[in-house]
Amino acid sequence: MSTTPLRLQDSSDLLDNPSTRCACMLVLDTSGSMAGAPVAELNAGLQGFIEAVRDDEIASYAIDLGIITAGGTVSEVLPFTSASAIDRHQPLQASGQTPLGGAVQLALDHLEARKAQYKANGVAYYQPWLVLISDGEPTDAWQQVAAQSRLLSEQRRLVVMPIGVQGANLSVLSQFSSRPAKQLSGLKFREFFEWLSASMSRVSSSNSTSASVSLPKTDSWDSV
């Protein structure tokens, strides 16, 4: 299995629904060490997230969700799809090493492509999000793509949120963003994804694409 080639999807959804968008890309570590309880909790949290965003009317119009996994290979599990059109996701399996560098590169490419589609169709968009969850660190080349991602984060062109699960190298994950990586408390994936869906709801109902959005507190899922 090789990495999924970059492909531009049909953008007719932008004509049917021209409301302001927020592209939300999840890059998930599905390496061997995530097998068992961690990936089970991740799957449960992810399903909860999909349902919550789909059931919030305004968020369902705004959120375009994409999912890329890094477990053995880099795989695009879900190309950018409107939250209103996602029913359930295929549970993720965990095995192999952690090609996080390649996964983030693919994520950045797809985010750029989706932004280009928004612009070409005259659809307004909120600052996109990249959520990066890992219980370790990249086993492939990552410094260059981390610098790219961090620059976008510093320029406020991309919200980059690195989350470390038990065993993660937080200082490496922090290099991908202008904000430091947060440590997930235990396996509180459900709580994290509840927080993420609440944050997406706030972004989606934000009055302006240029105002900063105040996010809910993270203390339900992070460990200080």
| Residues contributing to the site for other proteins (CB under 8 A) | 15, 17-20, 57-58, 61, 119-124, 205, 207-211, 214, 216
Nearest distance from C-beta of residue 62 to other proteins, angstroms: 9
Is the CB of 63 or the CB of 68 nearer to other proteins? 63
Per DSSP (E only), the strands in 140-204 are: 159-164, 182-183
CA dihedral over 142, 3, 30, 9, signed as positive or negative:
positive
Q: Which three-class secondary structure state does DSSP give residue 86?
A: coil
Closest CA to 54 of 173, 170, 189, 204: 204
Nearest distance from C-beta of residue 66 to other proteins, angstroms: 21
Is the CB of 32 or the CB of 125 nearer to other proteins? 125
Nearest distance from C-beta of residue 44 to other proteins, angstroms: 25
Is the CB of 208 or the CB of 223 nearer to other proteins? 208
Amino acid identity, residue 9?
Q
Nearest distance from C-beta of residue 82 to other proteins, angstroms: 11
Q: Which three-class secondary structure state does DSSP give residue 184?
A: strand
Is the CB of 90 or the CB of 214 nearer to other proteins? 214
C-alpha to C-alpha distance for 163 and 110, rounded to whole angstroms: 21
